[in-house]
Amino acid sequence: MIPRYARPEMVAIWSPETKFRIWYEIEAHACDAQAKLGVIPQENADAVWKAKDVEFDVARIDEIEAVTKHDVIAFLTHLAEHVGSEEARFVHQGMTSSDVLDTCLNVQLVRAADILLTGLDRVLAALKTRAMEHKDTVRVGRSHGIHAEPTTMGLTFARFYAEMDRNKARLLAARDEVATGAISGAVGTFANIDPAVEEHVCEKLGLKPEPISTQVIPRDRHAMFFAVLGVIASSIENIAIEIRHMQRTEVLEGAEFFSMGQKGSSAMPHKKNPVLTENLTGLARLVRMTVIPAMENVALWHERDISHSSVERGIGPDATVTLDFALNRLAGVIEKMLIFPENMLDNMNKFPGLVMSQRVLLALTQAGVSREGAYSMVQRNALKVWEERLDFRELLLADEEVVAALGVDGINEKFDMGYHTKHVDTIFARVFGD
């Protein structure tokens, strides 16, 4: 996590100040529940809320931790400095450190998910706008990087929209799955704390009680959360790669917006490089880098160990901050992206008529020619287009066997571009539902 690829709202979730504020709320709400059960005096629970407007001193907590070598104890010591030692003596009653750490982490992940969902919504809105704008803008589809058959730029945007819409559903599910809290005490048995305390704290923090914890919340929940972030990052790269290919000089069907004063190269003043989408490809790698460690965190010794702890302190902020930045960068690229319909048609016509080869093949089989014979008849003419840049339709019209099977009108009819776009409305209705 570096400032270059970070946005303030997401960074704030992972700041020490935010973390300690959440820790405080967990402890204070737990005291309220304990008082309601008659486990601690009400006045002690009330006293904890004296610190509700305190800005906890991160440097002071670090100073205490340098002695205690324990971050939660350092925080509790600092809290007592504000509340009073006697008044704070029931804080953390029956709890263990993981009750605070794990519940806090999940609060942070839920808040991060909400920001990421906002970013996804921005990407979806941009993709839909561009899809509608270029619904009927014809371009050549490519498989293996080679011209295949006509499609539309709108279908390209619609495809990415559908992918990101699936990602939104995945993130909503991951958010729900990770939104649990645990205030269950050592090894998760509630021996020293009533389950009602956990229920109260979770309700106040917008979480659900973890059905069964050990001394930690099960890490399969977190593994799924980070896996979803990795999938979203891969989808970002999928879109970025398409835009990068479109911006190649030989293709130039679309391009990133090039702002006034922007420089593409320190050496070559003519350059307009796809730097934003190249950056997105790199950022996607960083997000995916966090997935395997999250998966490896699932297997802990017995009721707990802390092999997951150092990992999560890194991957929590790194994955969410980076993905948040990437989503918003991608949205901006799509919103301002330049589209060149004329170049799309020029590219398609570099091999005149060749994209209609399958339609001619199918027509020949319908006319009674064997598939092997039809394939041979079409391919011998198609190869001349590849090698000599001749017009495919003219070659077919000069081929006696093809004319005998289809007739002149039959051949000409096979070069209607509308044939390939006749179901665009159907696809759009499936994707956008309107």
Q: Which of these, 152, 143, 153, 125, lies nearest to 243 by C-alpha position?
A: 153
What size, in residues, is the chain? 434
Burial 82-107 (b: 16+ CB within 10 A, else e): ebeeebbebbbbbbbbbbbbbbbbbb
CA atoms of 352 and 289, how far apart (whole Å): 45
- 167 contacts 232 by C-beta, under 8 angstroms: yes
265 among known catalytic residues: yes
Nearest to 276 by CA among 262, 287, 286, 289: 262
Q: Are strands 254-255 and 208-209 parallel, antiparallel or unpaired?
A: unpaired
Active site residue 144: yes
Using N-to-C axis directions, what is the helix angle for 371-388 and 357-366, rounded to 10°?
Answer: 150
- SS3 (DSSP) at 18: helix
The strand pairing partners of 151, in sequence order, are 139
**151 φψ region: left (φ > 0), alpha (ψ -120 to 50), beta (else):** beta
- Could you give the angle at the alpha carbon of 150 between the alpha carbons of 339 and 332, nearest 5°? 25
Enumerate residues 6+ apart whose C-beta is below 8 A from 200.
Answer: 29, 30, 32, 33, 36
In 3-state terms, what secondary structure has residue 192? Answer: coil
Q: Which of 15, 265, 310, 370 is catalytic?
A: 265
CB atoms within 10 A of CB 149: 17
Residues 11, 111: Cα–Cα separation, whole Å:
11
Cβ partners under 8 Å of residue 160, min gap 6: 127, 235, 238, 239, 242
Q: What is the rounded CA–CA span in Å between residue 385 and residue 333?
A: 36
Using only C-alpha atoms, the chain has a radius of gyration, in whole angstroms, of 30
Q: Which residue among 85, 143, 144, 259 is the active-site one? A: 144
* Spatial CA neighbour of 256 closest among 244, 268, 264: 244
CA–CA distance, 49 with 45 (Å, rounded to integer): 7
User: Annotated catalytic sites, by residue?
Assistant: 144, 265
